Amino acid sequence: MPVSPWILWSALSHAARLSTVLQILIFLPLTLATLSKPAFLLLSLLLTVHAAVHGTMILCWGSPALSLLQVPMHPFLLLVCFNAFSTSVPLWLGTATSVWGTILTYMGPLFIALEGLSSLVVVQKLGQQGKRLVEEGEIYQFGLLIASAGTYVASAWWIVSAYPAAASSPLSSTFLGVAITALLFLTFIGFFLRRTNIIESSGLALFMAYNVWLCGFNQESFSDPSYS
């Protein structure tokens, strides 16, 4: 049975998008670990400019081929960054990275809010897809139940293990307690009103566990091999 060209193109497009995300997740920590913080900031700035140009082209052109064309751009930007810091760094480049770092620092609360909103959208989408799979058969329902239960257990373990480092002061421990209580309260309310499901709830629990771990993560954690 021949493969439909639309299915093949869709698979290539989704693989290209996934490759783009993985490149960002790998290249940024790689630059910070192998070069320096200014090099990391330069790559971040280049990726931001590329994302703005790419998003504008999608908005104006809208061709699905753009997802494939952007795949080689991130390795190219990484090579540019490595080449720029292989010798003495020009003064203007150091100033640009310093200014960009200051902008990122002051825009941190906005990024945190956007991260929270995007996580909610992703969790809601996973919940919707889970409902569709449940309707197709009991095997999907059983598999999703096992996956959700595993996510609950992993999230609880992650929160407990990361709590001592995150709760470094009475104020931070209070905020963490409020956040966990709010999650439990909203989960029970959602179940009672039938406004949510275990997929969405477990996804939010995992997101909260990640944020609790992140609260205890600091600059010293990069050099501490025992930190997890």
**pLDDT > 90 fraction of the chain, expressed in percent and rounded:** 6
Distance CA 58, CA 42 (A): 24
Q: Which of 191, 218, 201, 97 is nearest to 149 (CA)?
A: 201
Residue pLDDT, tens place only, 23-46: 888 888 888 888 888 888 998 999
Question: 129 pLDDT band (50/70/90 cuts)?
Answer: confident
Q: Is 208 in contact with 179 (CB distance < 8 Å)?
A: yes
pTM above the 0.95 mark? no
Residue pLDDT, tens place only, 3-18: 566 667 677 777 877 8
Domain boundaries, the chain: 5-106, 109-222
